Structure 1
Amino acid sequence: MANRRFQMDPRIKRELMGQKRLLVLGLICTSLSSALYGSSMGLIRRLLKDLEKIGQTHAIADFDAMKISTLMIIGVFVLRYFFTRGQTYYLAEAVARLTNGLRQRLLTKLLKLPVTYFNEKRAGSIQSVLTNDVNVFQSAVQILRDSIEAPLKAIVALILIIVIQWQMALITFLMIPIMGIIVQRNAKKMRIAQKQVQIDLAEVGAVTQEVLQGVRVVKAFGAEDQVNKDYGRLLHTSLKSQLRAALLVARLRPLVELLGAVGLCGAILIGGWLALSGNMSVSDMAALAFALDAINQGFRGISNLSSTYSSVQGAS
């Protein structure tokens, strides 16, 4: 059932495969950037442990160890800079080439259709496909990026939590099904809402073109006020559908953040309880808080992935 829900439209797959080389390079950079981000959490824990040790021993050797940890963290983020830059550039180029190629193929197909097709379809609706719908398809590339970056961040952080203190991972496992249910329900509503947005935008485009092409007729019959009034109602309908879609996104993101904050506070309380029994150090607690925040970021990325996927499906 989950596979059907997140199965990408074959047409979208074909377009993405046309940019395979750029997408592979961009996704490799995404994976390495996320992996380096995860490794930085372990290095930060080591740095904090060195700092704790210096406070206890006041030894130069421990300070030297802390300098090494600091340089390692800087080195990780220098490498991450290059991979993040590569990810941004390669995926941006893939998006640009995808949209240009898609528009070219759509126009080629339209020119081969019989005249009867254009008698049945409004010119503005056809133009909307070349503009509004194609722009939504750009998000398919973002889906690929988020499908790697968000889960990888969360998984690496979760592994670190299990290694440091497995008891604190329990609250994370409790939050996963709750967030999954919320994201799934929102995705269904978002798909329907985005489909209506595209339909309304196509209608606005069609009427706009018809009015501009027939402006002489409108003026000849003195129908400016009536046309303006009808056009205003059409824009209002389109606005309402866009706001419904925006409301679904606006509801999901802060709710995921709220649940993440609840999970973070719960984990910190567990950490405090463990510290009372002497099973938790300050450095471990700080590293765990950093890891929990990374998991929260991963969940937010997954929620964005779900919303974007639903938007693309609605336009396809």
Structure 2
Amino acid sequence: MSDTEKTPRPPVRRGPGGGGPFGGAGMPAEKSKAFGPSAKRLVGRLRPERMLIAVVALLAIVSVTLSVLGPKMLGTATNLIFAGILSKQVPAGETQAQVIEGLRASGNNAQADLLGGVTLTPGSGIDFGQLGSVLLMVLAIYVFSSVFSWGQSYLLNGVVQRTVFRLRADVEDKINRLPLGYFDRMPRGELLSRVTNDIDNVSQSLQQSLSQIMTSLLTVIGVIVMMFVISPLLALIALVTIPLTLLITAVVAKRSQKLFVAQWKHTGTLNARIEESYSGHALVKVFGRHREINEVFRQKNEELYKASFGAQFVSGIIMPAMMFVGNLVYVAIAVVGGLMVASGSLSLGDVQAFIQYARQFTQPLTQLGSMANVLQSGVASAERVFELLDADDQTPDPVPAATPPASAGSAGRLVFDDVSFRYLPDVPLIDNLSLTALPGQTVAIVGPTGAGKTTLVNLIMRFYELDSGRITLDGTDIAAMTRDDLRSRTGMVLQDTWLFGGTIRDNIAYGRPEATEEEILAAAQATYVDRFVHSLPDGYDTVLNDEADNVSAGEKQLITIARAFLAAPSVLILDEATSSVDTRTEVLVQRAMSALRAERTSFVIAHRLSTIRDADLILVMESGRIVQQGTHDTLLAAGGAYANLYNAQFAGATAAE
């Protein structure tokens, strides 16, 4: 819709910091509204990959099982070294039982208990052959564990990326099915955030959380089993970590969540301020407001700094707290384990293995705590994407669809029959409007801002559905046609030019992709694009950048006009189409438009009434109603709304003088 007309719209929701495109964009939602249903729905999107997920789970089980066996095997190696050192000190020819009996007889019961927990071979020393075999086995265990872990990560990455690929495709399809009213209600930055940032956050959350949660849970289970196999007493001591971990995580997360919310809020506010000051940089300089802008930036930046520092500091407490708890458990295990080794009820290698398991035990618990936040953030983003996917589609095209008859010389007869339409039910706009536009006629629509001029055009394009009445094209109700068929018969040139990143030739051919090179050149010549293209380094192959600012505003407008010219529609809509070109170029474009409008119905929305003096029919609209219609001369002679609008232009100039 043109900026020159502001008709009523449904209320638009704004993110923090106002309406800048970056206001709040890029920051995923911090908390989901309904975690359970949304998480279930997100997991449901993994269903097509369930066979691969089963393989991933199997690989994870094998990898974790091997990694859990590693400390136990290293404990065996420690026992071989310890037993070898002790065996070297025992005279050859004596049995282990004789040595232990001799120690007890001499009152050295502690040493006897220690030797009772070790298998000795008196006088032999360390068995390096057996030790080497054990160490090679440990190496093989860790190598295969890493290989299976790599395979799990590789397959899981494919699962996640294909799932997100399908999600992006569904979102793209959904956007193409949404009615224009949805985009009017949804701020552009908010929609872009859902389509890009939220989907990326879902991807990252799934990638991190699925692998970590699966591996951490399996590691916790495997480590607990091995600890109970080695020593139930030490295992119970280690399990004290679980409630302490849950308590610390819950307390810190509750505090840090509020700070993270404040951080994201201040980030959105600061982004909005930056975007506004950069996009309006020239205006800021003209009015000398850069000091005020800098002061506002300093304040917002300070607020963001404090919130971010607090959030990162509080959330950073979790790891040191977990390490502190882990160290307490480590000390308890070392003391009790040492006493058990001294008493002969546990080998030194088993104590070493148990200490490794205790270290392994706290790490996955900490990872599970951090993954809870990641998963919650991902589910919150998924919920926002699902809200987009659940939005109501535009009404489907009729089946079978009607097609206007192909009658030579009569294409473009457009009739409004008692049409009524409102954007909002309680805000009147267009009521009981009727008019007829004949093929070859140029119908100009004028009126004050908010009169409903552009709305009339939107109804022709079926961007919105009528509340009552009907619009017919060549005798066929446009509601009975497919939207593609209707819009293929309609060309539109707006005040706000839209060009995409590509060559000038590609932008012109967008109006009719199957057009030949000769047809593209003919359209460019007819609309005077050819006049400036040859001054560019690459001519028609000149690539327009993302903002298309390597050509002037007038040149951009000419390219969009050439695009409409090439499409050769039966109905042509010009919404202030020449507002960005200079006076001389406007005259040339008007001549080109005269040729384009031949035997076609043309609707021209204009504020400069001098540009539509030659229109066959001028409609004067006020508050959604046609209050006058006729030619320029007859309307001026009749006085009233048109004469007032026309004379106001010159009155404004006189007053200015």
Tell me the TM-score range normalised by the shorter chain: 0.7 to 0.9
Between the aligned partners of 2:276 and 2:182, the Cα distance in structure 1 is: 17
Say whether the 8 Å CA contact 2:245–2:366 is kept in structure 1: no
Between the aligned partners of 2:317 and 2:340, the Cα distance in structure 1 is: 35
Amino acid at match of 2:371: L
Q: Secondary structure at the match of 2:316?
A: helix
Which of 306, 311, 333 lines up with 1:267 in the alignment?
333
Choose 1 or 2 for highest CA Rg: 2
Say whether the 8 Å CA contact 2:153–2:211 is kept in structure 1: no
- 1:98 and 1:226, CA in 2 relative to 1: closer, same or farther beyond 3 A? farther
Matched, 1:69 2:134: yes
Which of 290, 296, 304 lines up with 2:362 in the alignment?
296
- 1:7 and 1:108, CA in 2 relative to 1: closer, same or farther beyond 3 A? closer
- 1:187 and 1:12, CA in 2 relative to 1: closer, same or farther beyond 3 A? farther
Unaligned ranges ≥5, structure 1: none
Between the aligned partners of 2:305 and 2:182, the Cα distance in structure 1 is: 29
Which of 31, 46, 50 lines up with 2:61 in the alignment?
31
1:287, distance to aligned residue in structure 2 (A): 1.4
Between the aligned partners of 1:111 and 1:227, the Cα distance in structure 2 is: 39
Between the aligned partners of 2:38 and 2:273, the Cα distance in structure 1 is: 32
Amino acid at match of 1:162: F
Say whether the 8 Å CA contact 1:253–1:303 is kept in structure 2: no
Between the aligned partners of 2:213 and 2:166, the Cα distance in structure 1 is: 24
Between the aligned partners of 1:107 and 1:142, the Cα distance in structure 2 is: 25
14-23 or 255-264, larger mean C-alpha shift: 14-23
1:69, distance to aligned residue in structure 2 (A): 1.4
Instruction: Report the RMSD for the aligned CA atoms in angstroms.
Output: 3.4
- TM value normalised by structure 2: 0.42
Query: After superposition, where does 1:102-121 map in structure 2 within 5 Å?
Result: 102-121=167-186
1:11, distance to aligned residue in structure 2 (A): 4.3
1:196, distance to aligned residue in structure 2 (A): 5.2
Instruction: Work out the number of aligned pairs and report it.
Output: 313
* Aligned residue number for residue 50 of structure 1: 80
1:262, distance to aligned residue in structure 2 (A): 0.9
1:135, distance to aligned residue in structure 2 (A): 3.2
Say whether the 8 Å CA contact 2:253–2:315 is kept in structure 1: no
Between the aligned partners of 1:294 and 1:61, the Cα distance in structure 2 is: 29
1:219, distance to aligned residue in structure 2 (A): 5.5
Between the aligned partners of 1:116 and 1:235, the Cα distance in structure 2 is: 36
- 1:305 and 1:123, CA in 2 relative to 1: closer, same or farther beyond 3 A? same
* Aligned residue number for residue 247 of structure 1: 313
Between the aligned partners of 1:266 and 1:185, the Cα distance in structure 2 is: 25
Say whether the 8 Å CA contact 1:124–1:208 is kept in structure 2: no
Query: After superposition, where does 1:64-143 map in structure 2 within 5 Å?
Result: 64-137=129-202, 138-143=204-209
Between the aligned partners of 2:166 and 2:298, the Cα distance in structure 1 is: 34
180-189 or 222-231, larger mean C-alpha shift: 222-231
Larger proportion of strand: 2
Query: Relative contact order (alpha carbons < 8 A, sep ≥ 6): 1 or 2 greater?
Result: 1
Q: Secondary structure at the match of 2:215?
A: helix
* Aligned residue number for residue 232 of structure 2: 166
Larger proportion of helix: 1
- 1:37 and 1:85, CA in 2 relative to 1: closer, same or farther beyond 3 A? same
What does the per-residue CA deviation read over 1:86-114, in whole Å, with 9 as the maximum and x for residues that have no partner? 13323333444444444443344344444
Between the aligned partners of 2:379 and 2:143, the Cα distance in structure 1 is: 37
Between the aligned partners of 1:89 and 1:9, the Cα distance in structure 2 is: 23
- 1:288 and 1:240, CA in 2 relative to 1: closer, same or farther beyond 3 A? same
25-34 or 167-176, larger mean C-alpha shift: 25-34
- 1:253 and 1:22, CA in 2 relative to 1: closer, same or farther beyond 3 A? farther
Say whether the 8 Å CA contact 2:72–2:350 is kept in structure 1: no
Say whether the 8 Å CA contact 2:81–2:126 is kept in structure 1: no
1:257, distance to aligned residue in structure 2 (A): 1.6
* Aligned residue number for residue 41 of structure 1: 71
252-261 or 124-133, larger mean C-alpha shift: 124-133
Amino acid at match of 2:71: M
Amino acid at match of 2:193: S
Unaligned ranges ≥5, structure 2: 1-33, 88-120, 384-657
1:73, distance to aligned residue in structure 2 (A): 0.9
Between the aligned partners of 1:282 and 1:262, the Cα distance in structure 2 is: 20
Between the aligned partners of 1:206 and 1:101, the Cα distance in structure 2 is: 32
Percent identity among equivalent residues?
Answer: 21
25-34 or 165-174, larger mean C-alpha shift: 25-34
